[in-house]
């Protein structure tokens, strides 16, 4: 067992008490689309990421897993350039998060982010203005496929319709990396299936998808690899093939890793 | 992408376009209302119907206030909404720099504010000259009184000076508003960001006026415009018998302040803001 000596006491205790062994995670930089070295991020005195290092392989569908407050969204915000006050090094396709990487990354936040005045067509025109890789024709076709009203304001739509338009705006980009924060959160099982299919069918060949979610069971079959973070540390990273080789599902492994968080 | 380079195309033009479109949806409606009110006044002013005339005067007096107020409201509302609400997730993930985001909003809303002031002054000036009896002749006199100009001969020089001054003050005002809103969204102030923004705004405004007073009193830079044409920038105060001497130090101070606030605000936007 190899534990980073820089871990805070709480994290070290957690790892010591864990009912399984932690693997030593050695970052590999070859073929990685995202490279993270000694990444730390604090909010006041609370450290959400503490010296985390890892690489994400190009072309994979990667599940970013962890309990609430584990730093998933902070990590995503760092990757998408929304948070810049962190220590350590983050490289997206060889570049620090900034204007260049923002043009490469298609980001679906957990929140509804479109302006209140925007109709479906307005939002498509807006994204088309800023992203050279946005396929406007495909977007217009998908509006019809998704049965969305072109002229209706997004803010007056149902939650499901809002999810669809936001997903459409992201998946109609021919991006190198898709970062999706809880893309299936708050929708019914049928909608979850629809969203997942939309992601898989519209993903350009060779692109990387990093998807954070609590709904592990739904996405498990499509994941190439996973990364689990919690207590400020990287707790597990491997391909799903390796992790499930002993017959365990990712869902079961997740429960095992984070069991201590919910024990009385 | 451009050629083999990873660098995306500059999107400043798109920011300006979309900020203008977003703001014009509401602001332009008030301009249409003002145009209708002004045309109404022009039609009824010589008809001898006192009730309609009074209505026209009241509308044309009140709507420019609304114009300035709505423009100012949007300066604050759109900046806060597009950058610091959930919409910030979209805005901050665009492939543009913080300086471009800020610069675009300053240009678009600075121009809206400036135009709203200009329209208000024109309409009120016209109403005042109408009340004096003959708008064609008296407009110049109203302008002289309004801007404190000494004579018709210098009206162009003073008008130009005051337009520039007004323009810069408008931008300074917006710079301070944007700095106050941005600073209030830093983690330190985030739990009480409205009150923080108001306090920061007033502190910055007091500092600005204090510095303008100090600079105006102690640092003399004058722009001399001679009646026969030539102009000259000189250090020191100088009264001209054959031209106009314009104080420039407040303008230079405001320009420096605006540039400093622009860089500080964009640095905070880039480094210290976490969209919730």
Interface confidence (ipTM) of the complex:
0.84
What average pLDDT score do residues A224-228 get? 94
Does some domain include residue A161? Answer: yes
Determine the pLDDT at residue A191. 80
**Greatest CA separation for chain A:** 58
Q: Is A137 helix (H, G, I), strand (E, B) or coil?
A: helix
- Report yes or no on A149 lying in a domain: yes
What string of pLDDT tens digits covers the 276 residues of chain B? 434 456 778 899 999 999 999 999 889 999 999 999 999 999 988 887 888 888 988 999 999 999 999 899 988 999 999 999 999 999 999 999 999 999 999 999 999 998 999 899 889 888 888 876 655 545 566 666 665 555 666 777 777 888 888 889 889 999 999 999 999 998 888 788 889 999 999 999 999 889 888 988 888 888 888 877 778 888 887 777 778 888 899 899 999 999 999 999 999 999 888 787
pLDDT band at residue A241 under the 50/70/90 scheme = very high
Mean pLDDT of A100-109: 95
Non-local CB neighbours of A10 within 8 Å, separated by 6+ positions: A231
More confident residue, A140 or B51: A140
State the nearest Cα–Cα gap between B241 and chain A, in angstroms.
Answer: 56
A contacts of B86 (beta carbons < 8 Å): 109, 111-113
**DSSP 8-state assignment for residue A173:** B
Q: Which phi and psi angles does A61 have, rounded to 5°?
A: -100, 115
Least confident of A41-50, A161-170, B3-12, B61-70: B3-12
Beta-carbon contacts of B252 under 8 Å, excluding residues fewer than 6 positions away, are B215, B221
**pLDDT per position as a tens digit, B125-149:** 888 888 766 555 455 666 666 655 5
| pTM for this model (two decimals) | 0.85
Interface of A with B in 93-122 (CB under 8 A): 93, 95, 98-100, 102-105, 107, 109, 111-117
Q: Does residue A3 lie in a domain region?
A: no
User: Which range marks the domain in which residue A79 is found?
Assistant: 9-262
Question: For chain A, what is the domain count?
Answer: 1
Shortest CA distance from B23: residue in chain A: A117
Candidates B2, B4, B8, B25: best to mutate against A (most CBs of A within 10 A) is: B8
The radius of gyration computed from the CA coordinates of chain A, to the nearest angstrom, equals 19
Contacts of A198 (CB under 8 A, 6+ apart): A167, A168, A171
In a domain, A58, yes or no: yes
Classify residue A110: in a domain, yes or no: yes
Chain B: closest CA distance from residue A198 (Å): 21
A34 belongs to a structural domain: yes
Return the pLDDT at B83. Answer: 94
Identify the CATH number of the domain in which residue A112 sits.
3.40.50.300
| Chain A interface mutation, best of B89, B97, B186, B274, highest count of A Cβ atoms under 10 Å | B89
* Contact yes or no for A72/A66 (Cβ under 8 A): yes
Chain B CB contacts of A154 below 8 Å: none
Provide the 10 A C-beta neighbour count for residue A140: 15
- Residue numbers in B near A136 (CB within 8 A): none
Q: Does A26 reside within a domain?
A: yes
Q: Kindly give, in sequence order, each residue whose CB lies less than 8 Å from that of residue A192, ignoring residues fewer than 6 positions away.
A: A184, A215, A218
> A148 in a domain, yes or no?
yes
Residue A55 φ/ψ, nearest 5 degrees: -130, 145
The DSSP line for B14-64 is HHHHHHHHHHHHHHHHHHHHHHHHHHHHHHHTTS--HHHHHHHHHHHHHHH
């Amino acid at each position: 067992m190899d534990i980073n000596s820089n871990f805070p006491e709480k994290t070290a205790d957690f790892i010591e008490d864990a009912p399984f062994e932690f693997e030593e995670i050695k970052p590999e930089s070859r073929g990685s689309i995202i490279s993270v070295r000694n990444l730390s991020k604090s909010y006041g005195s609370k450290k959400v990421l503490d010296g985390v290092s890892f690489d994400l392989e190009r072309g994979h569908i990667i599940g970013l897993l962890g309990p609430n407050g584990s730093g998933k969204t902070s990590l995503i915000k760092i990757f998408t350039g929304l948070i810049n006050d962190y220590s350590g090094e983050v490289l997206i396709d060889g570049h620090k998060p900034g204007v260049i990487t923002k043009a490469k990354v298609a980001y679906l936040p957990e929140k509804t982010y479109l302006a209140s005045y925007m109709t479906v067509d307005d939002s498509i025109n807006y994204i088309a203005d800023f992203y050279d890789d946005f396929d406007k024709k495909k977007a217009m076709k998908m509006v019809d496929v998704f049965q969305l009203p072109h002229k209706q304001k997004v803010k007056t739509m149902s939650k499901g319709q809002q999810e669809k338009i936001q997903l459409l705006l992201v998946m109609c980009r021919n991006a190198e990396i898709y970062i999706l924060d809880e893309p299936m959160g708050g929708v019914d099982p049928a909608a979850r299936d629809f969203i997942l299919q939309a992601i898989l069918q519209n993903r350009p060949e060779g692109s990387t998808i990093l998807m954070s979610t609590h709904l592990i069971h739904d996405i498990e079959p499509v994941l190439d690899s996973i990364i689990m973070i919690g207590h400020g540390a990287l707790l597990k990273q491997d391909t799903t093939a390796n992790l499930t080789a002993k017959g365990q599902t990712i869902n079961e492994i997740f429960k095992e890793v984070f069991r201590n968080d919910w024990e009385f | 992408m451009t050629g083999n380079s990873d660098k995306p195309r500059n999107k400043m033009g798109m920011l300006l376009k979309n900020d203008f479109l977003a703001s014009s949806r509401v602001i332009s409606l008030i301009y249409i209302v003002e145009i209708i009110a002004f045309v109404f006044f022009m039609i009824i002013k010589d008809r001898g119907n006192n009730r309609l005339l009074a209505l026209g005067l009241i509308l044309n007096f009140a709507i420019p206030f609304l114009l300035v107020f709505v423009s100012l409201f949007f300066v604050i509302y759109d900046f806060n909404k597009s950058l610091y609400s959930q919409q910030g997730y979209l805005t901050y993930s665009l492939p543009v720099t913080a300086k471009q985001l800020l610069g675009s909003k300053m240009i678009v809303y600075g121009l809206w504010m400036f135009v709203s002031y200009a329209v208000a002054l024109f309409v009120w000036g016209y109403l005042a000259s109408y009340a004096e009896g003959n708008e064609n002749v008296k407009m110049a006199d109203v302008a002289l009184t309004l801007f404190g100009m000494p004579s018709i001969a210098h009206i162009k020089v003073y008008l130009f000076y005051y337009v520039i001054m007004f323009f810069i003050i408008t931008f300074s005002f917006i710079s301070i508003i944007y700095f106050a809103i941005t600073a209030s969204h830093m983690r330190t102030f985030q739990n009480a960001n409205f009150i923080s923004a108001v306090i920061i705004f007033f502190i910055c405004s007091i500092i600005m006026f204090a510095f303008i007073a100090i600079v105006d009193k102690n640092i003399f830079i004058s722009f001399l415009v001679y009646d026969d044409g030539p102009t000259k920038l000189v250090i020191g105060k100088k009264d001209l018998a054959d031209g106009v001497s314009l104080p420039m130090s407040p303008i230079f101070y405001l320009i420096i302040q605006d540039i400093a606030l622009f860089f500080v605000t964009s640095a905070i936007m880039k480094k210290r803001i976490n969209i919730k």
